[in-house]
Amino acid sequence: MAEKIAHLPPSVDLRSGFCRETKIFHSLRTPVPLPPESTPLSTTSFAFSLLPSPLPSHPAIIDAATGASVSYADFVARVRSLATTLRSRTGLSKGDVAFVIAPSGIDIPVLYFALLSIGVVVSPVNPLSTPAEIAHQIRLSNPSIAFASAATASKLPPDLPTILLGSPRFRSLFASAKETLPPVEVQQSDTAAILYSSGTTGRVKGVALTHRNFVSLVAMYHASLQEALAEAAEEADDGPPVSLFTIPLFHVFGFFMAIRSAALGDTIVLMERFDFEAMLRAVERYRVRFMPVSPPLVLAMTKSPAVIGHDLSSLRRLGCGGAPLGPEVAESFVARFPNVEIFQGYGLTESTGGVASSKSPEENKVYASTGRLGPNTQAKIVDPVTGEALGPGQRGELWLRGPSIMKGYVGDPEATASTLDSEGWLKTGDLCYFDDDGFLYIVDRLKELIKYKAYQVPPAELEHILLSHPEIADAAVIPYPDEEAGEIPMAFVVRQPGSMLSEEEVMVFVGKQVAPYKKIRRTAFVSSIPKSPAGKILRRELVNQALSLPKSKL
């Protein structure tokens, strides 16, 4: 280990990465060299520069439902043709914003890469967004053009020029470009994308991410792959590296993973809309080896009887992020799928995705953790009351600094100033701690802690306990107003089919495993838990639902 962390100054503890002089946690990973910041470089040109020559012979993209595919040669050619025709026929130029509202499909990665290559800012949104939500996002990003599906176009304002994906006009843009245009010089500091934060703790914000942000993460993954290949970590007879995307491409997790997979020469299998049984069929049909997933999917694979009867033997790794994964769920998954490793990770839209992850079979076994800080990244744990930076084992707000941290929030200088400080630290709003071995643990969102009398109760801790119950399929915990205590923990529970689990049984089960102030004091049974596309529980919806329920004696 000493050789790998020789870059750290002498004042840094080589076990935890913590510097007692500066109170900063340093990454224990080997630093990844990045191109000089002053070098003009787009995300697309950097990703394509990492592809082997000749290009991979396996497909770049496959549509899970139809089996339609695009080869790597065709993918690169389509990107370049589309980039040229978008400039010549639509008048798009560097710095313009393109609003994208469509489900995942073969055309979406091609569109992203083409827009990024000419310096046009990509701003994708959830196709299920309401017209009011879309109007807010358009006010933030101020797009010049929109790309939409036939089903989503009606949600857009009539004065926004719109191209329908799949239409004859869109198809014509792939024709070999006859025009010869001077190349666009994209700076790494230029905004590459405006992605939208989930808005679970406030109004949706537009997060401006730069080409430098994406270049830094792509470089990190490429270095990690080269290291794995050097150590012969990949099985030679496993066939091409096939990744199934169960996550949407408008979310930072899916957006970045699409860029990463193309840069590494993987085959991406895309699902237009997620369906659990269709996912199982796709893993079987396309011999999928890797899936980026959210915790609800890990839970479903652990508990669902639908898994039986499908050949999932090709599956080797899950990259889990988007929300905390309980150690009980991780252990149950590994017991059911002993040949599949779960690599956990932590990141935010504001950090361009993952900034901490597990990297080896040994690290993966630290189930309660999201892994160690990634290369080139620093962190602080800050007491939210005193502002004091804390050491290993102490809980506080996680602050992050590094080349993947966002430029800021578009159209919201106040939010930017309160989230990014003058030294480049991003205040995540997450209550976390590092242990003595440099592993990061996410306790909960600071704003979601339940204030029971004088105590703070993390909902995620109670949710992990609830999910360990064999008769509970899913669960969420929220603060419920109480005159005496201020707030009490209330559970929303989805029972397994056929279960007659009672409210009292739920409360007794949790009560036996926690301190008295953490007990569940009210329970409601529901058919499903509302979640964001990344798997985050939408607690505000549950709070509103709870307040509409008839009061009962607790």
Q: What is the pLDDT of residue 201?
A: 45
Question: Over the stretch 32-78, which tens digit does the pLDDT of each residue have?
Answer: 999 999 999 999 999 999 999 999 999 999 999 999 999 999 999 99
Q: Do 244 and 286 form a contact (C-beta atoms < 8 A)?
A: yes
Q: What is the pLDDT of residue 230?
A: 60
- List C-alpha distances in Å: 245 to 293, 313, 334: 8, 18, 21
Q: What is the pLDDT of residue 107?
A: 96
Q: Which two tokens stand for residue 91?
A: 């008048």
Cα angle value 233/238/241 (rounded, 5°): 80
Average pLDDT over residues 515-537: 88
Residue 352 confidence (pLDDT) above 80: yes
Give me the chain's average pLDDT, please. Answer: 90
Q: How many CA atoms lie within 13 A of 24 on its CB side?
A: 15
Q: Do 62 and 406 form a contact (C-beta atoms < 8 A)?
A: no
Residue 504 confidence (pLDDT) above 60: yes
Of 378, 417, 496, 403, the residue nearest 12 (C-alpha)? 378
Cα angle value 329/512/493 (rounded, 5°): 50
Measure the CA–CA gap between 459 and 450, rounded to whole angstroms.
7
Q: Which CATH code, of 1.25.40.10, 3.30.300.30, 3.40.50.2300, 3.30.465.10, is assigned to 455-548?
A: 3.30.300.30
Domain extents in the chain: 71-210, 455-548
Bridge partners of residue 486, in order along the sequence: 452, 482
Average pLDDT over residues 192-212: 82
Average pLDDT over residues 7-14: 87
Q: Which of 445-452's residues contact partners 24+ apart within 8 Å by CB, and which partners?
A: 445/200, 445/201, 446/384, 446/397, 447/201, 448/201, 448/479, 448/539, 450/477, 450/478, 450/479, 450/487, 450/488, 450/489, 451/479, 451/486, 451/487, 452/485, 452/486, 452/487, 452/488, 452/489, 452/517, 452/518
Pairing of strands 121-124, 97-101: parallel
Question: Over the stretch 428-458, which tens digit does the pLDDT of each residue have?
Answer: 989 899 999 999 998 877 778 888 876 778 8
Question: Over the stretch 89-142, which tens digit does the pLDDT of each residue have?
Answer: 999 999 999 999 999 999 999 999 999 999 999 999 989 888 888 999 999 999
User: DSSP state, 516?
Assistant: G
Average pLDDT over residues 2-17: 77
Question: Over the stretch 287-334, which tens digit does the pLDDT of each residue have?
Answer: 999 999 888 889 889 988 889 989 999 999 999 887 677 788 889 999
Residue 553 confidence (pLDDT) above 50: no
Supply the pTM of this predicted model.
Answer: 0.85
Q: Which CATH code, of 3.90.280.10, 3.40.50.980, 1.10.10.10, 3.90.580.10, is assigned to 71-210?
A: 3.40.50.980
Residue 486 confidence (pLDDT) above 90: no
Q: Which two tokens stand for residue 527?
A: 């058919």
Grouping H, G, I as helix, E, B as strand and the rest as coil, residue 373 is strand
Measure the CA–CA gap between 78 and 108, rounded to whole angstroms.
12
Measure the CA–CA gap between 318 and 297, rounded to whole angstroms.
10
